[in-house]
Amino acid sequence: MRRLFRFRRSSIARRLAGFSVIFVTATVVVASLILYLIVAGVVREQIDQRLDTQIDGLRSALTINAAGDVVLSTALDGPPFDRRGSGWYWQVSGEQVHLTSRSLAGEPIASPPRPFDWRHILSGTPQPAERAGLGGETLYLRVAEAAVANKTVEIIVSAPQSALSAPARRALLWLVPAMVLLGIVLVGGIFLQVRYGLRPLRQLTFDVSSISAGNLQRLPDSDVDDLRPVSGEINRLVDQNVQRLAETRLHFANLAHGLKTPVANLLLALNSINDPDNEMRGLVERIDQRIRHHLARARKTAAGGTGVATLLKPRVDDLVLVMSRIYAEKEITVECNIDPELAVACAAEDFDEILGNLIDNAFKWAGQKVGIDARSDGAMIVMTIEDDGPGMAEAAIVEAFRPGVRLDETVPGDGFGLTIASELVQLYGGTITLRNIDPVGLRQSVAMPKAVAS
């Protein structure tokens, strides 16, 4: 049952190839058996014809001499009936009649039982008899009756059993290698056929992966009729996903629109009297900037702006410059290793928000050094931001992505940075991971789809 379950879970190619190999093997075996039987039948027919010819010759040569005895009018001991012990014998026997071939050397062949066959009886044609043994050899017999004057005699003609089996065995020596070669050729053809036949499925898998990586918008039309419904359904799902994504962002835009007016009113209501330190005004302005940013991104999505590409190095350099000024008193050393050609499939504003939050965290907790690196990994680009700070407790890493969670109240922040960054990365089909560095420090890794080369 476990093997059967594994077979059911195997690939289509293995199923097709496995079934075809079994089918070809069975076909080759059956075909070999049939061909062997055909060869054996042809050899038997030839032997029958030769023995029947000898019987007809004996019938024609039987006559009665002057003394009233049954004799042969001519000698019929031509090869191979002239070689003693050859197995090629003939015998004419009856009442006071016993004539034998030179090869039989006077040894009698016992009259064998014959199957009842009225067609042979009425027509007088020779018929097969049960095999007999003579001199340690099995004989194949043909028997007929003949009337000579008023006497009825039995004519028995034999051939060695090896005369029937040996040619068939020799044919089998050629037949088996030929059929094995044929089977190998057929199996090879089957594997090529399976590989060629499943090529459209492999291409479909590659195209679906390209859609997931952002390298394709929709599946191209399939050249295979059987796959057109599948590609059509996948394209329909892709279109639905794009539409739902646009609707989701539109809802966010509507929410932002709903918040924009109250925030504007709140900003106008704050003054030097009720907010002497401008603390509330700065917070409201920050909220207003985020609302404007999400409104712009929602408008861009609603307008169909897809397929964007953002070069990493210029944006990271700008973010590092800003953070270096904000945290100038910490005198952080930044090591940045980014290929100028690397680009991600992400809007520049979203990229700034994602990397800005992560770089801000690195500067905030770093002791002396921050390292930023980016590399290409297949269809993704992996960016890492490392710092030499105290790191995080393993339990706190999961909690860090929850909105509003602040792991340390002694440093400034609102607890939404990692949450916003994670949501944006997931929106583009990427991932964010946090991991402690040995002996100290934290590594923030971001994987995002690589931009399609134009």
For 104-126, the pLDDT digits (tens) are 877 788 877 766 665 655 556 78
Mean pLDDT of 247-251: 67
Q: What is the pLDDT of residue 8?
A: 52
Q: What is the pLDDT of residue 363?
A: 92
6 pLDDT higher than 60: no
**In the structure, what pLDDT confidence band is assigned to residue 7 with cuts at 50, 70 and 90?**
very low
Nearest Cα residue to 370 out of 411, 327, 323, 333: 333
As a whole number of angstroms, the distance between CA 180 and CA 196 comes to: 24
**In the structure, what pLDDT confidence band is assigned to residue 447 with cuts at 50, 70 and 90?**
very high
User: 57 near 74, Cβ under 8 Å?
Assistant: no
Cis peptide before 167 (omega within 30 of 0): no
42 pLDDT higher than 80: yes
Both tokens assigned to 295: 């409104």
Mean pLDDT of 79-93: 85
381 pLDDT higher than 90: yes
Write out pLDDT tens, residues 134-143. Answer: 777 888 888 8
**In the structure, what pLDDT confidence band is assigned to residue 359 with cuts at 50, 70 and 90?**
very high
Amino acid, single-letter form, for residue 176: V
3-state secondary structure the chain: CHHHHHHHCCCHHHHHHHHHHHHHHHHHHHHHHHHHHHHHHHHHHHHHHHHHHHHHHHHHHEEECCCCCEEECCCCCCCCCCCCCCCCEEEEEECCEEEECHHHCCCCCCCCCCCCCHHHHHHCCCEECCCEEECCEEEEEEEEEEEECCEEEEEEEEEECHHHHHHHHHHHHHHHHHHHHHHHHHHHHHHHHHHHHCHHHHHHHHHHHHHHHCCCCCCCCCCCHHHHHHHHHHHHHHHHHHHHHHHHHHHHHHHHHHHHHHHHHHHHHCCCCCCCCCHHHHHHHHHHHHHHHHHHHHHHHHCCCCCCCEEHHHHHHHHHHHHHHHCHHHCCEEEEECCCCCEECCCHHHHHHHHHHHHHHHHHHCCCEEEEEEEEECCEEEEEEEECCCCCCHHHHHHCCCCCCCCCCCCCCCCCHHHHHHHHHHHCCCEEEEEECCCCCEEEEEEEEECCCC
> What whole-number percentage of the chain has pLDDT above 70?
83
Write the CB contacts of 284 (distance below 8 Å, at least 6 apart in sequence): 263, 266, 267, 270
Both tokens assigned to 219: 């599946």
Both tokens assigned to 226: 């059987």
Both tokens assigned to 31: 């075909």
**In the structure, what pLDDT confidence band is assigned to residue 21 with cuts at 50, 70 and 90?**
confident
Tell me what the pLDDT averaged over the chain comes to.
79
User: Beta-carbon neighbour count of residue 55 at 10 Å?
Assistant: 21
383 pLDDT higher than 90: yes
Instruction: Kindly report which listed range (81-90, 194-203, 261-270) carries the lowest average pLDDT score.
Output: 261-270
Q: What is the pLDDT of residue 414?
A: 44
Amino acid, single-letter form, for residue 244: R
Q: What is the pTM of this model?
A: 0.45
For residues 11 and 303, the model is more confident at 11
Domains and CATH numbers, the chain: 13-167 (3.30.450), 308-449 (3.30.565.10)
Write out pLDDT tens, residues 264-311. Answer: 777 777 787 787 887 887 787 777 777 766 665 655 554 444 457 889
Q: What is the pLDDT of residue 4?
A: 44
Buried b (16+ CB within 10 A) or exposed e, 155-167: bbbbbbbebbeeb
Both tokens assigned to 90: 């003939």
